[in-house]
Structure 1
């Protein structure tokens, strides 16, 4: 990896099939993968997506309870966040981030969410993360 001529952004050097080397910005595929990792970085977002991908529209309250239940399975000790805290975190941070990534639709006014991802890469990545956490 190098820096561009202005020194502001990292660039990647790749070897082409004919042996020539090409320097350029990472591909959209790399950007997509980075975005997916970022979206899955928090356990509440992983739990929310896992719950939403198995059904239709869910209310914020039902989703918060489901996320808390999933987190209790993997969390050690009794330091789990209370339901009201999970609900607020989902509403203000995690569901908007999942929505912005295009994997769910969150209607903040009605406080309902549904899985809308069409690319199965996200689901497979979530499955791999869940396997590693178990």
Structure 2
């Protein structure tokens, strides 16, 4: 089945590649969906690790390390979050281009399989 995605805003091809690479990572998706489905816009790494643990079978400490060294810096790089490694805080940024792509991903993830 092919789904039609109505054009809402064009995204630079390089930015699209970076966003899709980030969305391919389960840790990154868990962080994004946590913020999109909650009323908070700021969280700690420890709090996010607990949220990610609901989706990923791993030790809480290992999840926090993965978030700190990989997922959060990558999300920061594409402008989805602002990550302060010194204070271990993460602020969700509701950027237009990432939001457009995330809305499409969320829509597709809710559709029933073939």
Tell me which interval the TM-score lies in, with the shorter structure as reference length. Answer: 0.7 to 0.9
What's the offset of the Cα at 1:93?
A: 0.5
Deviations 1:23-63 (A, max 9, x none): xxxx9622222121011011110001111233221011111
For residues 68-87 of structure 1, the aligned pairs below 5 Å read 68-69=53-54, 71=55, 80-87=57-64
Deviations 1:73-99 (A, max 9, x none): xxxxxxx11111000000011000000
- Name the structure, 1 or 2, with higher relative contact order (CA <8 Å, separation 6+): 2
Is the Cα contact below 8 Å between 1:52 and 1:113 reproduced in 2? no
Closer/same/farther in 2, CA of residues 51 and 116 from structure 1, 3 Å limit? same
Q: What is the Cα deviation at residue 128 of structure 1?
A: 3.6
Identify, as 1 or 2, the structure richer in helix: 2
> What corresponds to 2:7 in structure 1?
none
Q: Give the aligned partner of residue 52 of structure 1.
A: 35
Could you tell me how far apart the structure 2 residues matched to 1:33 and 1:113 are? 22
Segments of 4+ in structure 1 off by > 4 A? none
- For residues 82 and 111 of structure 2, the distance between their equivalents in structure 1, rounded to whole angstroms, comes to 27
The aligned residue for residue 89 of structure 2 is: 112
CA RMSD of aligned residues (A): 2.3
- Secondary structure of 1:58's match? strand
Gaps of 5+ in 1: 1-26, 73-79
Once residues 81 and 70 of structure 2 are traced to their aligned partners in structure 1, the CA distance between those partners, rounded to angstroms, is 13
User: Which of 1 and 2 has greater Rg?
Assistant: 1
